[in-house]
Amino acid sequence: MERNGVIELVGMEFLAFHGCLEEERRNGNLFVVDFRGTVDMAAAAESDDLSDTEDYGVLYGIIRDEMAKPSNLLEHVAGRIVRAVEERMPGFAEFSVTVSKKNPPVGGVCAWSKITMAGGASSPRNDL
């Protein structure tokens, strides 16, 4: 019997060097990533065995590794994370990744810019 549940990693903070401006690429900025994914938890609920679920540590490592690669656009960062999770953790039926950038250079007061991208086995495939 399928028993879907949600796995979330919220508030993952990274000093990263994403942005179109030279200053952003040189000095870096604070980025926060949130992940929310649906997965069948029936086996793990019975077995209490890590091999029957998606490993949070592996998930964090995927996100950390992608955040370490500079990009001009948050959309590109999120797209890489989505592709990597789909490739390495196919157990997620669907998931979303939100990448937030503190104090984006928009010419005025703005605490965060955020983008959210969806992925997973049941999501429409995009060539990101």
Domain ranges of the chain: 4-119
Catalytic hit among 69, 101, 102, 114: 101
| Predicted pLDDT of residue 1 | 74
| Predicted pLDDT of residue 67 | 98
Structure tokens at 45: 């609920």
The CATH number corresponding to 4-119 among 3.60.40.10, 3.40.50.720, 1.10.3720.10, 3.30.1130.10 equals 3.30.1130.10
pLDDT at residue 126 is higher than 60: no
Q: Tell me if residue 101 is catalytic.
A: yes
Residue 32's identity, in one-letter code, is V
Strands 112-119 and 92-102, bridge-based pairing: antiparallel
Give the residue from 29, 8, 34, 10 showing the smallest Cα distance to 19: 29
The count of other CB atoms within 10 Å of the CB of residue 78 is 24
Each residue of 78-119: pLDDT tens digit?
999 999 999 999 999 999 999 999 999 999 999 999 999 999
**What letter would DSSP give residue 21?**
S
